[in-house]
Structure 1
């Protein structure tokens, strides 16, 4: 998960959000170079209070996105 501080100032929040998304893109590109797949998701549960509590998101923080990572199955039949 990528989490940022939920700054109430619009410009600061948008700057942080944009920086977090650039970080995600760069991480995704680096992972793909190493044959690690990445799925970048904005899930509905990213805003669910029980989920936020379970994963330790604190008040004043915001989940930007959830990343799902895994290795490719090199032997899979791509048919």
Structure 2
């Protein structure tokens, strides 16, 4: 079976998050709130920058796509 790295990493993070949530419910402090907040802030920032780059016509590929849309009067 050929699995991609992205799917495996997402599933791994899911398992860690579920284990952390269960342990927190049982009263064990596994990962500090400050660390979780810092990671979420960093990942959110990276994701927003990536989404902004991909959803705007900033790259060479995006500019070509915009030209094609203009040619077909879709913008």
Indicate the TM-score class for this superposition, using the shorter chain for normalisation. Answer: 0.3 to 0.5
TM-score (norm 2): 0.37
Q: Which has the higher helix share?
A: 2
Asked which structure has the greater CA Rg, the reply is: 2
Flag the structure with more relative contact order, 1 or 2, with Cα contacts below 8 A and sequence separation at least 6. 1
TM-score under structure 1 length normalisation: 0.35
